[in-house]
């Protein structure tokens, strides 16, 4: 279930830069969109790990330890796959 939510987070990230006008305009002006999206996915993965370090029960299975760092790498891959799949499959906005 958690992998589905992580993939969904990547999908939402891609959709934000494809459909939210202010974000789309800013993103389209950037020179290296791929590296920038990779950085956003990295930040999202870091937030996932940070959530495991909070004293709240947020349902994050990663632990705030070295073992948890491996889970973050897995989360990074799942978020990235969801992000790129959404980028390739979401329809483009109509021009105009």
| Residue 52 half-sphere exposure toward CB, CA atoms < 13 A | 20
15-36: average pLDDT:
90
For 49-83, what is each residue's pLDDT tens digit? 777 777 777 666 667 788 878 878 888 888 888 88
- Using pLDDT thresholds of 50, 70 and 90, give the confidence band for residue 33: confident
- Using pLDDT thresholds of 50, 70 and 90, give the confidence band for residue 8: confident
Output 53 or 37, whichever has higher pLDDT. 37
Residue at token pair 């389209």: 28
Output 96 or 94, whichever has higher pLDDT. 94
Residues 6+ apart with CB under 8 A from 61: 2, 52, 71
| 12 Ramachandran zone, left/alpha/beta (phi>0; psi -120 to 50) | alpha
Q: Where are the domains of the chain?
A: 2-89
């Amino acid at each position: 279930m958690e992998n589905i939510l992580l993939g969904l987070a990547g999908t939402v990230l891609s959709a934000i830069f494809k459909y939210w006008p202010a974000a789309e305009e800013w993103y389209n002006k950037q020179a290296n969109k791929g590296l920038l999206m990779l950085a956003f996915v990295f930040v999202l993965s870091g937030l996932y790990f940070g959530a495991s370090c909070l004293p709240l029960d947020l349902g994050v299975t990663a632990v705030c330890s070295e073992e948890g760092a491996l889970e973050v790498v897995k989360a990074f891959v799942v978020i990235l796959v969801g992000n790129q799949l959404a980028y390739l499959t979401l329809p483009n906005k109509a021009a105009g």
